[in-house]
Amino acid sequence: VKKVYLGIDMGGTRIKMALLNKNAEILRTKDIDAQAGLSMEQRLEDLVDDINGLVGSDCKLKGIGIAFPGIIDFESKKILSKYVKYPNAHKTDIPGWAEKHWRIPLLIENDARAALLGEWQHGSGKGCNNILMVTLGTGMGSAVLLNGQLLRGRNYLAGNLGGHMSIDFQGEICNCGNRGCVETLASTWALEENLKKIPNYKSSILYKEETLSFKSVFTCASNGDNIAEKLKLQSLEAWSSGIINLLHAYDPEKLILGGGILESKEEIIPFIRKRVWEYSWLPDSGTEIVAAEQTKYAGLQGMCYLLNIEIFNN
Amino acid sequence: VKKVYLGIDMGGTRIKMALLNKNAEILRTKDIDAQAGLSMEQRLEDLVDDINGLVGSDCKLKGIGIAFPGIIDFESKKILSKYVKYPNAHKTDIPGWAEKHWRIPLLIENDARAALLGEWQHGSGKGCNNILMVTLGTGMGSAVLLNGQLLRGRNYLAGNLGGHMSIDFQGEICNCGNRGCVETLASTWALEENLKKIPNYKSSILYKEETLSFKSVFTCASNGDNIAEKLKLQSLEAWSSGIINLLHAYDPEKLILGGGILESKEEIIPFIRKRVWEYSWLPDSGTEIVAAEQTKYAGLQGMCYLLNIEIFNN
């Protein structure tokens, strides 16, 4: 019987699960839809059968690590932010769920922090102990490693709010209550609203699409769609500006860019490098800017690392 | 003969010097004007007589600590930023100057970092090891203490660029090359320019003043001058927005606000507290927000602390 960890990455649209050994090698995986409106408690109960099926009879589950898109109290294993996809998540006893079903320990951490740890241990952050990670997906996530330690802060939000950095202090109110957040200006969730702010947007092919994505924004832009080009440029400018602020804040050795939007990394990374070169105080080659390598399971591998060092002393 | 340190705080308008014992008690002080246009080398040579006079025959100089408004390579004791008041500062051999005249060691550090250390050891930061310091003066300085250690970063700029955080990503180019920096929107050096952007500014009493200061902005505003009121509000909003971004970035236990503009702390601190409460992700009482105590010599006391721990093992 193999001793395994279970990693769960609760994304905005998909829930990714995997069994990993203590070396963070992925043994089996299962992806399911993240149904909207389900409470956190219900969501977790619904996963039990999937998890038992994944573990099967040849593995023994030793611990669970959840990567979650929100502000997480790592010590008491609570979800602190209220604006998350799963209602009542902040009131749910998450370690109690693991205890009840399998009598095993559980850890939960912010998903950008988990992805950072995964990239650090197994991806493009190997050998580098001072890293800023930024993920561009449904929103914009971020996390910081300083001297090989996660920066968490007094209220567990240090480093995680890159997407809610205000870069337009007299701009629109974001869904978080702050003004002019990077996410409000450039993210998948705000894409439709931002499209509709561009004059003549109805002339764009994007207007006909059922679900807008940055992939189609980049494609339409390169096909000569002017509206898409404007949307692309505004998004790249907003990300760059937020990222320069973050680079100034932490002055890391390396910036790792991850998340689904990095499918278009050939356009994104050179743009950000150029902006950093033009606008930031960083000296030439002051910071390495690279794409994430372990895009799909970095968060799960990061949770595996945390289980190893926090609980099992592996 | 008393063994003493010399602290030098090279401000934008004044150079403050003091002799301190190893407990950072101030024995004697001397303030002089920071003449514009003098090269750093010339400036330092001109200080030699003042310094020897200050030391006199009853003290023995053991080390010098300089707090400087710029990006500083603390290890190799070099000024890295080029946009400073003293031409050629980045080419000057500063420890060589101390060696030549007194054969003693010298340290140099960013002035906001030095002030933070002074406040931590002897002011409103006592007993707290996670501090964000923001100084509002000619510009806006900032520095960060994490777990009792200064955050310096790979290129020595971590934490120091709060004033050059972009909060208006499509705004005006700052003198630093970045866009929409907090300082461009609200600082003493940008005050006149910002006044002139307000419609009807010539009707304000401020327009008649020879040298604009925030002191007069606050005074005129409370006397019912509408233009001054607008300038005050825009400045408070810009500082608050930048500070919220910094609080999110580091999530410290305490924010200490210092610098000359904090003369008006009765107006500034409540405004910032309210904005943090309204706009930030911090929980209620998530961060203490206080005014600096050691406003005048905090930087010198901070350099004394660095001389103690880095060189003399006191």
**pLDDT for res B34:** 81
**What pLDDT is stored for residue B296 in this prediction?**
86
pLDDT digits (tens, 9 = 90+) for B202-257: 999 999 988 899 999 999 999 999 999 999 999 999 999 999 999 999 999 999 99
With CB atoms and an 8 Å threshold, state whether A158 touches B287.
no
Question: CB under 8 Å to A40, separation ≥6 — which residues?
Answer: A79, A86, A87, A88, A89, A92, A94
User: Which residue of A169, A173, A239 to mutate against B (max B Cβ within 10 Å)?
Assistant: A169
Burial of B254 (C-beta count, 10 Å sphere; 0-12/13-18/19+): buried
Q: How many CB pairs under 8 A join A and B?
A: 139
Integer Cα distance of B291 and B284 in angstroms: 19
Q: Kindly give the interhelix angle for B94-102 and B40-55, rounded to the nearest 10 degrees.
A: 40
Category of B213 on φ-ψ map: left (φ > 0), alpha (ψ -120 to 50) or beta: beta
Nearest to A161 among B176, B281, B283 (CB): B281
Chain B: closest CA distance from residue A310 (Å):
20
Please name the residue of chain A whose CA is at the shortest distance from the CA of residue B287. Answer: A154
List, in sequence order, every residue forming a beta bridge with A254; answer none if it has no partner: A131, A288
Nearest to A164 among B165, B170, B281 (CB): B281
End-to-end CA separation in angstroms for chain A = 19
- Chain B positions in Cβ-Cβ contact with residue A178 (cut-off 8 Å): 244, 279-281
Residues of chain A positioned with their CB less than 8 A from the CB of B155: 251, 282-283, 286-287
pLDDT at B37: 76
pLDDT in tens, B34-51: 877 788 899 999 999 999
> Quick one: pLDDT at residue A80?
93
Tokens of A218: 């980049």
Q: What is the mean pLDDT of chain A?
A: 94
Say which of B161, B164, B169 has its CB closest to residue A238.
B169
Mean pLDDT by 10 residues, chain A (314 residues): 95 90 96 84 93 96 96 96 78 96 98 97 97 95 97 98 97 93 95 95 93 95 96 97 98 96 94 97 94 91 98 86
The predicted structure's pLDDT at residue B83: 65
- The model carries a pTM of 0.96
| Contacts with A238 from chain B: Cβ below 8 Å | 169
Q: For residue A297, give the nearest of A68, A17, A55, A12 by alpha carbon.
A: A17
CA A230 to chain centre: 25
Cβ atoms within 10 Å, residue A270: 11
Which residues on chain A are in Cβ contact (under 8 Å) with B168? 167-170
CB contact under 8 A, A251 and B156: yes
Inter-chain residue contact A249 with B170, CB threshold 8 Å: no
Nearest to A287 among B151, B154, B167 (CB): B154
Beta bridge partners of B149: B146
pLDDT tens track for B4-22: 999 999 987 789 999 999 9
CB contacts, 8 Å: A170 with chain B? 168, 237
Using N-to-C axis directions, what is the helix angle for A111-122 and A298-307, rounded to 10°?
90
Q: Smallest CA–CA separation between B241 and chain A, in Å?
A: 6
Q: Do B251 and A155 touch (CB under 8 A)?
A: yes
